Amino acid sequence: MPSQITDACFGKPALQQAGFGSENPFSRLSPLGPLTALPQTDDKPGDYLDDATRSFAEKVFASEVKDEGGRHEISPFDVDEICPISHHEMQAHIFQLEALSTPTESRRKKRFFGRKTISLSVPQSEASSTKLSHIDEYISTSPTYQTVPDFQRVQITGDYASGVTVEDFEMVCKGLYRALCIREKYMQKSFQRFPKTASKYLRNIDGEAWVAKESFYPVFTPPMKKGEDPFRTDNLPENLGYHLKMKDGVVYVYPNEEAANDMNFLLALIAQGPVKTYTHRRLKFLSSKFQVHQMLNEMDELKELKNNPHRDFYNCRKVDTHIHAAACMNQKHLLRFIKKSYQIDADRVVYSTKEKNLTLKELFVKLKMHPYDLTVDSLDVHAGRQTFQRFDKFNDKYNPVGASELRDLYLKTDNYINGEYFATIIKEVGADLVDAKYQHAEPRLSIYGRSPDEWSKLSAWFVQNRIYCPNMTWMIQVPRIYDVFRLKNFLPHFGKMLENIFMPVFEATINPQAHPDLSVFLKHITGFDSVDDESKHSGHMFSSKSPKPQEWTMEKNPSYTYYTYYMYANILQFHFPRERAGALTHLMTAFMTADNISHGLNLKKSPVLQYLFFLAQIPIAMSPLSNNSLFLEYAKNPFLDFLQKGLMISLSTDDPMQFHFTKEPLMEEYAIAAQVFKLSTCDMCEVARNSVLQCGISHEEKAKFLGANYLEEGPIGNDIRKTNVAQIRMAYRYETWCYELNLIVEGIKSGE
């Protein structure tokens, strides 16, 4: 239920539970000056933001926009343990706090620091044979599972809050708690997944009992039964008879002031020095802990896998979680198809110009080339050194031989031959996936929002060409190019673009029989993806004062946050928002609203967001080969770093036509990552399991590929016979995750 809005950052109950009282958690820490104290209220937690905090968030946003073009790596002085000036400032800050502390506070600190050992419990799985004992001499986070072999665990004894003051530790934990609550709120509203384990810890902080009905999972179309027609229309539901009207850019009006306040809170949180310091240290600890775990248990994990019959990396399921349909084939495949089509259809009319219609032969004559002479080099669709940091040149690679006519003919759905060639190529790629059996893909098709008939044309192309593959699910990508359409006067305002994107979908949902092709097509759609050059920044900060979509008539492109809010608010009705993210402000918005993201390279610039992505286990589809040609050299890719820390990452190809050479681009992606990063079999199988978990295939298929208990977190949810992921690895991941979540609980309760 949406909470009402006032001018505060937290409500009184949350402050009391978290130990804030009436003090603003950022008042003494803001590098831009103290923020005002929070008023006492009796409303729900976390729905308020005072003017000073909002102003601070605006300054943070402005600094991000200013620095976005020049920062490609994390600043070496982002954390105080490296920067000498910040280190001295922190020491002075601690001495000042000690001088101002009362005798009562001093006694509380003494008790807190004197408590050198504390037992951090981990939720027990149903299969656990023993319960955790609360031992006073060391920290225990090691439950015993019946299904997990004995292995060597890493335990840290002593004061786990060392290096930060008590006040800072409490403040950091409260901020992280609030951020996780924001994520949980938006996931529940849109019926998306939020990990049960994290919810249990949040309810522990709230003093409430967790109930199973709080868990939501997206529902996707079940797999086709044997002999069933995936394009049947005789079973479409009746007309619901509703009348639709879009207001303020949203079919259903959603309170944007609440969303703006939540975004401002996150902006303020990720800029706080103590929060950055604490999360940076926790992330370093997670990385080091995994390396020690590998050193101690790598052979035991390998032993588990060797004793696992029938299953190995090659025959465990893996999904290409981020791939664009227009580039889903490799360059040799496209070249072979162009030559084959010329042999068969040389005299067929395939292209229309203003002057006349052209046969395929006449088109190549017009382009002054012959398909027989083409090579992969002359096709020139592969990205290389010349596309590094040049997204404009990369987009030109979608034009074979530099000719937009060939792109329109072979890689478009709406052309003179109704996208027949493109459909055939995709079906051939699907046939290759079926032959491989254990590989799946989630290609993206584009809806631009330029005209309201885009959906009907795309769905007609999909159904008429019968583009179905059991190893494929589909996503809709929405390029953020409103400025291009507005400049050419195709759209009067941004609201019209939103209407063109979403109204046809709502109409087909309400009256499927009036839109049979679109209704069938929507059954195969699992999510929406917001795409564009992620290095671009609009400079507009989304807030409750932002123009309504119908008022956005300027030629300037709205910000990523503006796009995402209105996409989320509309997609909310369909329950499948899944997006990508680039800049830090993009990542912050994605943390709130997106089921998963792609690339995530800029997470390394923000330890706070990176740690939050770990705590919330937000899926990230990474494409190191794509990044190597566009943004970041392969060896510098954070893939291995994210994997070691325990973020939920998968591997994807992005654009095989531009970046890959073989018939199996996903296996090529895994093979290169395994060689460069020296991944073990268990590492690769863990990444493959993550890809199945985060993709949009149905519950029935996931249960078949991962095991009946795959929804359970930890080793109890892993069926090694299907995933080939060692139970030791699953137990390590689960216990480490629970340890970090429990630190937040302890930090908040220590202040009570």
pLDDT at 111: 45
pLDDT for 594: 85
Torsion of CA 599, 604, 605, 609, to 10 degrees: 80
pLDDT of residue 263: 85
Query: C-alpha angle 299/302/304, rounded to 5°?
Result: 115
**In this predicted structure, what is the pLDDT of residue 530?**
82
> For residue 75, what pLDDT band results from cuts at 50, 70 and 90?
very low
Tokens 């902080």 appear where?
205
**Residue 403 vs residue 462, higher pLDDT:** 462
**What is the distance between the alpha carbons of residues 416 and 181, in angstroms, rounded to a whole number?**
51
The pLDDT-based confidence of 602 (bands split at 50, 70, 90) is: confident
Q: Token pair for residue 23?
A: 């003090």
Closest CA to 470 of 426, 432, 428, 440: 440
Q: Where are the domains of the chain?
A: 245-750
Assess whether pLDDT exceeds 90 at residue 226.
Answer: no
Is residue 333 flagged as an active site residue?
no
Q: Indicate whether 100 pLDDT > 90.
A: no
User: What pLDDT does residue 424 have?
Assistant: 97
Provide mean pLDDT across the span 211-237. 70
| 43-52, 181-190, 377-386: least confidently modelled range | 43-52
Considering only residues 440 and 393, tell me which one the structure prediction assigns the higher pLDDT: 440
pLDDT band at 535 (very low <50, low <70, confident <90, very high): low
Q: Which fold has domain 245-750?
A: TIM Barrel (3.20.20)
Residue-wise pLDDT tens digits, 321-335:
999 999 999 999 999
Under 8 Å between Cβ of 159 and 105: no
> What's the rounded Cα separation, in Å, for the pair 497 and 246?
12
Which of 72-76, 221-225, 273-277 has maximum average pLDDT? 273-277
pLDDT at 451: 93
pLDDT digits (tens, 9 = 90+) for 613-649: 999 999 999 999 998 888 889 999 999 999 999 999 9
Quick: pLDDT tens for 684-740. 999 999 999 999 999 999 999 999 999 999 999 999 999 999 999 999 999 999 999
Q: What is the pLDDT of residue 96?
A: 63
Yes or no: say if 597 and 580 are a contact pair by the CB < 8 Å rule.
yes
Give me 188's structure tokens: 């529940």
Given a cut of 70, whether residue 257 has pLDDT beyond it is yes
Among 674, 633, 648, 667, CA closest to 320: 667
C-alpha to C-alpha distance for 12 and 22, rounded to whole angstroms: 8
> What CA–CA distance (Å, rounded) separates 18 from 744?
10
Closest by alpha carbon to 644, among 612, 670, 678, 667? Answer: 678
Section 216-240 average pLDDT: 69
541 with 526: CB under 8 angstroms?
Answer: no
Distance CA(597)–CA(446), nearest Å, equals: 17
**Cα–Cα distance for residue pair 403/413, rounded to 1 Å:** 17
| pLDDT given at position 157 | 76
Question: Minimum mean pLDDT among 116-120, 569-573, 657-661, 683-687: which range?
Answer: 116-120
Reported as type and span, the H/E element at residue 354 is none
pLDDT for residue 615: 97
Catalytic one of 524, 537, 586, 599 = 599
CB-CB contact of 701 with 685 (8 Å): no
C-alpha 189/C-alpha 571 separation (Å) is 11
Helix (H) or strand (E) holding 134: none
Of 251 and 672, more confident = 672
Q: What is the mean pLDDT of residues 559-564?
A: 82
Task: Name which of 581, 583, 563, 582 is nearest 571 in CA terms.
Answer: 563
The phi and psi torsions of 126 (rounded to 5 degrees) equal -65, -25
d(CA 717, CA 711): 6
Hey, how many other C-beta atoms are within 10 angstroms of the C-beta on 211?
A: 9
Give residue 568's identity as a one-letter amino acid code: Y
User: Which percentage of the chain shows pLDDT scores above 90?
Assistant: 47
Q: Mean of the pLDDT values across residues 154-158?
A: 79
Cβ–Cβ < 8 Å for 519, 233 = yes
Q: Is residue 576 within 8 Å of 442, Cβ to Cβ?
A: no
* Backbone conformation region of residue 402, classed left if phi is above 0, alpha if psi is from -120 to 50, else beta: left
* Predicted confidence (pLDDT) at residue 92 exceeds the cutoff of 80: no
| Greater pLDDT, 335 or 397 | 335
Determine the Cα–Cα distance for residues 671 and 693; give it in Å rounded to an integer. 21
**pLDDT given for residue 74 in this prediction:** 38
Q: Which of 344, 332, 343 is nearest to 428 (CA)?
A: 332
Dump pLDDT digits (tens) for 338-359. 999 999 999 999 999 888 899 9
pLDDT band at 110 (very low <50, low <70, confident <90, very high): very low
Coil, helix or strand at residue 284: helix
Q: Is the model's pLDDT at 132 over the cut of 60?
A: no
Select, from the ranges 29-43, 194-208, 295-309, the one with the highest average predicted confidence (pLDDT).
295-309
pLDDT at 678: 97
Residue 707's region, left for phi above 0, alpha for psi from -120 to 50, else beta, is left
Is it the case that residue 136 has pLDDT exceeding 60? no
